Amino acid sequence: MSGKKEEMLLDVKDLHASVEGTEILRGLDLQVKPGEVHAIMGPNGSGKSTFANVLSGREEYQVDRGTVQYRDLDLLELSADERACEGIFMAFQYPVSIPGISNAYFLRTALNSVRRYREESEVDAVDFLELIRSKTDLVGIDEKLLHRSVNDGFSGGEKKRNEILQMAVLDPKLAILDETDSGLDIDALRIVAEGVNALRREDRAFIVVTHYQRLLDHIVPDHVHVLSDGKIVRSGDKTLAHELEREGYSWLEATDASAGSNS
Amino acid sequence: MVTEATESWTEAVRAITERLNESKDGLDERRTGGLERFQMHGFPGRKSEEWRYTPLSGLVDGGCHQSLSTSTSVPQHADLPLDAIARVVLINGCFQEQLSDLSALGDAIKIGSIAALRNESNPEMVNFLCSSFPEDDHPFGSLSDAMLDDGVFIEVSGEGSGEPGTVHVLHAFDGSTGAGSAHITGLVRCAPGSRLKIVEEVRSTGEVLGNIRWGMSLGDDAVLDRIRVFRPGCDSVFHGTRVTQNSGSQFHDLVTCCGSNLIRNEIHATHSGPGCHVDLLGAYVARGKEVVDHHTTIEHAVEDCTSREIYRGVLSEKSRGVFTGMIHVHQDAQRTDAVQSNDAIVLSRDAEMNTRPRLEIYADDVKCTHGATVGELDDDALFYLRSRGISLDEAKKLLVRAFTSEVLAGMESSQLREFIIEELQRSIPGDGESSS
């Protein structure tokens, strides 16, 4: 790039975090710029989901050390809802169902919460329906799902598509996909990935947390990081994902976890 | 249990009984009987099984034994969004002709005051009144008898009733100039095949006991829908309903309340002909030291009847919910299908829910299910909502909406449903102050 210092969207430094007294993240560093797609891979228990949850503000996850700067904000000072209003979105591995609240009502409440925070005018029911129609096409979701209770009785694919729909509506700057591929067959996976790709933009970054490489065939990352034992032990471009696919994660045990970042 | 406080009640009640008995309306025996029963039994204490979790001491010791002064003032609240064909207003127990509007009623529905009925000496209605309520040791029943004066009757004939209209009954209790109580008797008679909808609203201000009882009779295949809305700010309300259902009739009852000190809702439904159905639904929110008590009895006396009870409450701070639900399936009531559920969300450690299902089943071919749950708001759901930008307070309100939706979903008017949900939601403490 030209001599001008490039803007950083997310800057994670030496992040340590624990759940119920067990340390899971042990010094994680990550830098994300607008427009980039970062994949976080790693074996079960390496801390992938913990990282996603810490970023989105889940209170059960205790941050013990380190800093997370998001734009010009100290992210760790913000509650989960403030983070969402500031443009962070996490697509859940297991979206929660809420019987008794229609998907449309939920989405409109969320959108208006975010708009109020951003000092934008609220959207009424009519305008909302118009807005949502343009988004349902984008993510390939059946409009009927809008009138059903949130995720209640949804298939695995419908739930994940619903997450992407919420992402499209809330218009985040940083989207985190937590194991979005889990429980999806190949067709559902493709549809979800297409939705995500449709939402890729120059000013929006993605962190894609996944165990398997197959999602990355569809959502092609700029950077791939391997998380092991709570820190990033290796970084590379998309070819690293293919390497992992061939060799699995067993090499991690043999490797001294001192490998640095080569990004 | 007779104490000093009940002495002052008895004295006050006796004066009213004697005054009303001078009217020679044929109800003097009923009043005297009520007075004697009240004198003998008084208010039940904590040891009474039926009132164990519902403290009446504040009511007994306070100033409610006095009579409320005459008032024409209705406590201020936003009006319910209703499309009613008639409006009945009772203030401090007196039917207000000036404030009521019965002008649009057709021939099918007759509405009038109990006071007028007594003066006309309408023996048929007096008989119906007397047969609607048992003469037992119930404290509020005895008070209603002893001070039997005014109220409202609604009579629906089967012919030409067509699409049922909504009758709005507004009970206003104004204790702003001094504490006191008002005792109201309501009667509803639905002819065979008739249909009626009642929206009953209770507004109250000041230290007041509102003692309301209804006697209802549904003819064959009659359908009665009733929605009761206790608006925030009520002090103490006893609300009792006794309904007798003949063959094929349906009674759908929905009650909601929030922000009221003490509400006791008693319903006694008897199925006396086959093919009846009764729905008893309730949604409530309580905080502070509020008590909400639902006390229901369903008498499945004959075969092939169904009942469905769902009560859902959200309790915060030091509030208390009470549910006692008796389902009595008589020996001949084969193929009864009864469902009862009672669920509560408790938002603080100091809030409590007391739930007592009572099933007595003497027939062998029946389906009876009951369930009770007490839980907290789902943390996963709360986080999910917050991760979408919804604040903690707003997220809680959304989950309360979700929780009560099963009860309120069947409401015909979505406007009224929204209005009620929003009023319930406003009674949830904010700022995460009572999260556990």
Query: Do A81 and B390 count as a contact with CB atoms less than 8 A apart?
Result: yes
Taking CA atoms, what residue in B is nearest to A105? B398
The ipTM estimated for the assembled molecules is 0.93
Query: Do B406 and A106 count as a contact with CB atoms less than 8 A apart?
Result: no
Identify all chain A residues contacting B384, using CB atoms and an 8 Å cutoff.
92, 95-96, 98
Identify all chain A residues contacting B395, using CB atoms and an 8 Å cutoff.
81
Identify all chain A residues contacting B383, using CB atoms and an 8 Å cutoff.
58-59, 80, 96
A31 Cα to chain B: minimum distance (Å): 22
B401 Cα to chain A: minimum distance (Å): 7
pLDDT in tens, chain B (436 residues): 556 678 899 999 999 999 999 988 889 999 999 999 999 999 998 889 999 999 998 888 989 999 998 988 999 999 999 999 999 999 999 999 999 999 998 888 999 999 998 888 778 878 899 999 999 999 999 999 999 999 999 999 876 556 778 999 999 999 999 999 999 999 999 999 999 999 999 999 999 999 999 999 999 999 999 999 999 999 999 999 999 999 999 999 999 999 999 999 999 999 999 999 999 999 999 999 999 999 999 999 999 999 999 999 999 999 999 999 999 999 999 999 999 999 999 999 999 999 999 999 999 999 999 999 999 999 999 999 999 999 999 999 999 999 999 899 989 999 999 999 999 999 998 864 444 3
What percent of chain B has a predicted confidence (pLDDT) above 90? 86
- Bridge-based pairing state of the strands A174-178 and A88-91: parallel
Task: Give Cβ neighbours of residue A226 (< 8 Å, ≥ 6 apart).
Answer: A41, A42, A232, A233, A234, A235, A240, A244, A249, A252
E strands, B191-305, are 195-218, 223-230, 236-245, 250-258, 262-271, 277-286, 291-300
Query: Do B390 and A90 count as a contact with CB atoms less than 8 A apart?
Result: no
| A100 closest CB neighbour out of B389, B392, B403 | B403
Tell me the two tokens of residue B267: 């319903």
Residues B153, B159, B160: CA angle, nearest 5 degrees: 100
Query: Do A84 and B395 count as a contact with CB atoms less than 8 A apart?
Result: no
pLDDT at A220 over 90: yes
Provide the pLDDT for residue A93: 92
Query: Do B389 and A81 count as a contact with CB atoms less than 8 A apart?
Result: yes
DSSP secondary structure of B100-127: -B-TT--SSEEEEEHHHHHHTT-HHHHH
Cα torsion B396, B401, B403, B407 to 10°: value is 160
For residue range B336-381, list pLDDT tens digits in order.
999 999 999 999 999 999 999 999 999 999 999 999 999 999 999 9
Query: Do B398 and A114 count as a contact with CB atoms less than 8 A apart?
Result: no
B62: amino acid identity, one letter:
G
User: In this complex, is the C-beta atom of A117 within 8 Å of any C-beta atom belonging to chain B?
Assistant: yes
Query: Do B394 and A109 count as a contact with CB atoms less than 8 A apart?
Result: yes
For residue range A152-172, list pLDDT tens digits in order.
999 988 999 999 999 999 999
Query: Do A110 and B399 count as a contact with CB atoms less than 8 A apart?
Result: no
Query: Do B383 and A114 count as a contact with CB atoms less than 8 A apart?
Result: no
Query: Do A81 and B391 count as a contact with CB atoms less than 8 A apart?
Result: yes
Residue from B276, B272, B267, B323 nearest B298 by CA: B267
Q: Which of B377, B383, B397 to mutate to test the interface with A (most CBs of A within 10 A)?
A: B383
Query: Do A81 and B403 count as a contact with CB atoms less than 8 A apart?
Result: no
Q: Within 10 Å of residue B112's Cβ, how many Cβ atoms?
A: 19
Q: For chain B, percent helix, then strand, then coil, each to nearest 5?
A: 25, 40, 35
User: In this complex, is the C-beta atom of A106 within 8 Å of any C-beta atom belonging to chain B?
Assistant: yes
- For B277, phi and psi rounded to 5 degrees? -140, 140
Query: Do B402 and A101 count as a contact with CB atoms less than 8 A apart?
Result: yes
Identify all chain B residues contacting A84, using CB atoms and an 8 Å cutoff.
386-390
Compute the count of residue pairs across chains A and B with CB atoms less than 8 Å apart.
79
Q: Is A79 helix (H, G, I), strand (E, B) or coil?
A: coil
Residue numbers of A between 13 and 52 with CB closer than 8 Å to B: none
Q: Which of A79, A81, A90, A93 to mutate to test the interface with B (most CBs of B within 10 A)?
A: A81
Query: Do A101 and B405 count as a contact with CB atoms less than 8 A apart?
Result: yes
Query: Do A114 and B391 count as a contact with CB atoms less than 8 A apart?
Result: no
Q: Which of B373, B390, B411 to mutate to test the interface with A (most CBs of A within 10 A)?
A: B390
B229 in the Ramachandran plot: left (φ > 0), alpha (ψ -120 to 50) or beta? beta
CB contact at 8 A, A107 and A169: yes
Residue numbers of A between 45 and 84 with CB closer than 8 Å to B: 56-59, 79-81, 83-84
Q: Read off the pTM.
A: 0.89
Taking CA atoms, what residue in B is nearest to A87? B389
d(CA A43, CA A32): 22
Provide the pLDDT for residue B174: 96
CB contact at 8 A, B416 and B81: yes
CB contact at 8 A, B385 and B398: yes
The average pLDDT across A8-22 equals 96
B24 Cα to chain A: minimum distance (Å): 55
Query: Do A96 and B378 count as a contact with CB atoms less than 8 A apart?
Result: yes
B404 Cα to chain A: minimum distance (Å): 8
Residue from B133, B245, B139, B122 nearest B194 by CA: B245
For residue range B305-347, list pLDDT tens digits in order.
999 999 999 999 999 999 999 999 999 999 999 999 999 999 9
Identify all chain A residues contacting B378, using CB atoms and an 8 Å cutoff.
96
d(CA B176, CA B170): 18
Identify all chain A residues contacting B388, using CB atoms and an 8 Å cutoff.
81, 84, 106, 110, 113-114, 166, 170
B333: amino acid identity, one letter:
A
Identify all chain A residues contacting B392, using CB atoms and an 8 Å cutoff.
79, 81
B347 Cα to chain A: minimum distance (Å): 18
